[in-house]
Structure 1
Amino acid sequence: MRQSMLQAIVALATWVSGVTATAHGDTTQPDMMDVKQALGEKLSSNAEVILPSSKGFDNATGRWSLLEPPQVNIVAIPAIEDDVVQIVKFARDRNIPFLTYDGTHGASVTLGDMQHGLALSMRKMSSVKLSDDGKTATIGGGTMSKTVTDELWAAGKQTVTGTCECVSYMGPMLGGGHGWLQGHHGLVADQVESMNVVLADGQLKTLDRDSALMWAMKGAGHNFGVVTSVKVKIYDIQHHNWASETLVFSGDKVEAVYQAANDHLVRNGSQPTDVANWSYWMNQPSEDPNNPVIVFYILQEGVTAVDSAYSKPFHDIGPSSVTPAAGTYKDLAAWTQVSNDSPPCQKDGFAHPRFPIYLQSYNPAAQKEAFDLYASSAGPSSPFNTSIFMFEGYSTEGVRKVDSSSAAFAFRDDNILCSPLVSFKPPDDPTLISKAENLGQQLRNILLKGTGRDELHAYVNYAYGTETPEQLYGSEDWRQSKLQELKNQYDPNSEFSFFCPITRNPADECSS
Structure 2
Amino acid sequence: MTRLTNFATLGLLLLQSLVTAAPQACLDGLCSYTRGNLTAQQVSRELGPQLSRSSNIYGPEDPRFLNETARYQAYKPPVIRLVVQPGSEADIPKIVKYANANSIPFLTVNKAHGLTATLGRFSGLQLDMGLLRNIDIQRGGKTAIFQGGTFDGQVIDYLWDKGYVTTTGSCACVGMLGPGLGGGHGRYQGFYGMISDNIVKLNVVLADGSAITVSENSHSDLLWAMKGAGHNFGIVTSFELKIYPRLVDTWYYRNYVWKQDKLETLFGELNKLHSNTSHIRELAVNYGTYGVNESISSTEAVIWWSFTYAGPQKDAEKYFEAFNRIPAEFVEDGNVPYSGIPDATGTGLDQPLCAKGYEHVHSTNYLNVWNITTLREIYDLFQSKITEQPALRGSIVMLEDYSTVGVRAVDSRTSAFPWRDRALLTVTAINFPPDAALDAYATEWANQNKDLINKGSGLQPATYVNYAAGDEPLDEIYGKEAWRLQRLRSLKAQYDPTGKFNYYNPITPA
TM-score when scaled to structure 1? 0.91
Question: Shift of the alpha carbon at 1:268?
Answer: 8.2
* Residue pair 1:77, 1:120 contacting (<8 A) in 2 also: yes
Which of 299, 314, 331 is the matching residue for 2:323? 314
Question: Shift of the alpha carbon at 1:319?
Answer: 1.9
Matched, 1:447 2:475: no
Distance verdict in 2 for CA 1:306–1:76, change over 3 Å: same
Matched, 1:161 2:179: no
Which of 68, 76, 85 is the matching residue for 1:77? 85
2:473 aligned residue: 468
SS of the residue 2:448 aligns to: helix
Question: Shift of the alpha carbon at 1:266?
Answer: 4.5
Matched, 1:480 2:489: no
1:354 aligned residue: 362
Distance (Å, rounded) in 2 between the aligned partners of 1:32 and 1:225: 25
Distance (Å, rounded) in 2 between the aligned partners of 1:417 and 1:472: 13
* Residue pair 1:391, 1:416 contacting (<8 A) in 2 also: yes
Distance (Å, rounded) in 2 between the aligned partners of 1:324 and 1:244: 5
Distance (Å, rounded) in 1 between the aligned partners of 2:60 and 2:168: 33
Bigger mean CA deviation after superposition, 194-203 or 271-280: 271-280
Question: Shift of the alpha carbon at 1:304?
Answer: 2.9
* Residue pair 2:252, 2:334 contacting (<8 A) in 1 also: yes
Distance (Å, rounded) in 1 between the aligned partners of 2:246 and 2:340: 15
Distance (Å, rounded) in 1 between the aligned partners of 2:21 and 2:348: 41
Which of 249, 256, 261 is the matching residue for 2:258? 249
Equivalent AA in structure 1 for residue 494 of structure 2: Q
SS of the residue 1:252 aligns to: helix
Equivalent AA in structure 2 for residue 465 of structure 1: G
* Residue pair 2:18, 2:105 contacting (<8 A) in 1 also: no
Identical columns (%) = 35
1:22 aligned residue: none
- Aligned residue runs from structure 1 range 336-415, under 5 A: 336-347=345-356, 349-378=357-386, 382-415=390-423
Distance verdict in 2 for CA 1:114–1:487, change over 3 Å: same
Distance verdict in 2 for CA 1:379–1:104, change over 3 Å: farther
- Aligned residue runs from structure 1 range 59-208, under 5 A: 59-115=67-123, 117-208=124-215
2:56 aligned residue: 48
SS of the residue 2:428 aligns to: strand
Question: Shift of the alpha carbon at 1:379?
Answer: 5.1
Equivalent AA in structure 2 for residue 491 of structure 1: D
Q: Residues 109-139 of structure 1, C-alpha deviation per residue, up to 9 Å, x if partnerless?
A: 1111012x00000000101100111111000
* Residue pair 2:361, 2:439 contacting (<8 A) in 1 also: no
Distance verdict in 2 for CA 1:7–1:133, change over 3 Å: closer
2:249 aligned residue: 240
Bigger mean CA deviation after superposition, 262-271 or 393-402: 262-271
2:35 aligned residue: 17
- Aligned residue runs from structure 1 range 325-340, under 5 A: 325-340=334-349
Distance verdict in 2 for CA 1:368–1:7, change over 3 Å: farther
Equivalent AA in structure 1 for residue 500 of structure 2: E
* Residue pair 2:40, 2:58 contacting (<8 A) in 1 also: no
SS of the residue 1:383 aligns to: helix
Equivalent AA in structure 2 for residue 356 of structure 1: T
Question: Shift of the alpha carbon at 1:415?
Answer: 0.8
Q: Residues 392-419 of structure 1, C-alpha deviation per residue, up to 9 Å, x if partnerless?
A: 2111000000000111111011111111
Equivalent AA in structure 2 for residue 205 of structure 1: I
Count of residues paired in the alignment: 485
Equivalent AA in structure 1 for residue 452 of structure 2: I
Bigger mean CA deviation after superposition, 483-492 or 376-385: 376-385
Which of 290, 293, 307 is the matching residue for 1:298? 307
Distance (Å, rounded) in 1 between the aligned partners of 2:243 and 2:129: 23
Equivalent AA in structure 2 for residue 233 of structure 1: K
Distance (Å, rounded) in 2 between the aligned partners of 1:460 and 1:188: 14
Distance (Å, rounded) in 2 between the aligned partners of 1:13 and 1:225: 20
Distance (Å, rounded) in 1 between the aligned partners of 2:153 and 2:24: 40
Distance (Å, rounded) in 1 between the aligned partners of 2:474 and 2:186: 23
Distance (Å, rounded) in 2 between the aligned partners of 1:164 and 1:73: 28
Q: Residues 293-335 of structure 1, C-alpha deviation per residue, up to 9 Å, x if partnerless?
A: 0011121121135734321211223222222222121121112
* Residue pair 1:265, 1:310 contacting (<8 A) in 2 also: no
Matched, 1:212 2:221: yes
Distance (Å, rounded) in 2 between the aligned partners of 1:103 and 1:10: 23
2:6 aligned residue: none
Query: Which sections of structure 2, spanning at least 5 residues, go unmatched?
Result: 1-16, 26-32
Question: Shift of the alpha carbon at 1:269?
Answer: 4.3
Distance verdict in 2 for CA 1:10–1:366, change over 3 Å: closer
Distance verdict in 2 for CA 1:264–1:274, change over 3 Å: closer
Distance (Å, rounded) in 1 between the aligned partners of 2:371 and 2:277: 12
Question: Shift of the alpha carbon at 1:8?
Answer: 8.6
After superposing on structure 2, the runs of 4+ consecutive aligned residues of structure 1 that deviate more than 6 Å are none
Q: Residues 50-73 of structure 1, C-alpha deviation per residue, up to 9 Å, x if partnerless?
A: 111112111111111111111111
Bigger mean CA deviation after superposition, 233-242 or 272-281: 272-281
Distance (Å, rounded) in 2 between the aligned partners of 1:94 and 1:266: 56
Question: Shift of the alpha carbon at 1:10?
Answer: 6.2
1:438 aligned residue: 444
2:28 aligned residue: none
Distance (Å, rounded) in 1 between the aligned partners of 2:314 and 2:441: 43
Equivalent AA in structure 1 for residue 390 of structure 2: S
Distance (Å, rounded) in 2 between the aligned partners of 1:191 and 1:146: 18
Distance (Å, rounded) in 2 between the aligned partners of 1:103 and 1:16: 30
* Residue pair 1:279, 1:295 contacting (<8 A) in 2 also: yes
Equivalent AA in structure 2 for residue 441 of structure 1: N
Distance (Å, rounded) in 2 between the aligned partners of 1:144 and 1:118: 21
SS of the residue 2:362 aligns to: coil
Query: Which sections of structure 1, spanning at least 5 residues, go unmatched?
Result: 1-5, 20-29, 507-512
* Residue pair 1:378, 1:385 contacting (<8 A) in 2 also: yes
Bigger mean CA deviation after superposition, 407-416 or 325-334: 325-334
Distance (Å, rounded) in 1 between the aligned partners of 2:199 and 2:375: 36
TM-score when scaled to structure 2? 0.91
Distance (Å, rounded) in 2 between the aligned partners of 1:402 and 1:101: 29
Which of 427, 449, 456 is the matching residue for 2:461? 456
Equivalent AA in structure 2 for residue 140 of structure 1: Q
Question: Shift of the alpha carbon at 1:383?
Answer: 1.5
1:493 aligned residue: 498
Distance verdict in 2 for CA 1:248–1:266, change over 3 Å: farther
Question: Shift of the alpha carbon at 1:345?
Answer: 1.3
* Residue pair 2:395, 2:432 contacting (<8 A) in 1 also: yes
* Residue pair 2:289, 2:303 contacting (<8 A) in 1 also: yes
Distance verdict in 2 for CA 1:368–1:10, change over 3 Å: closer
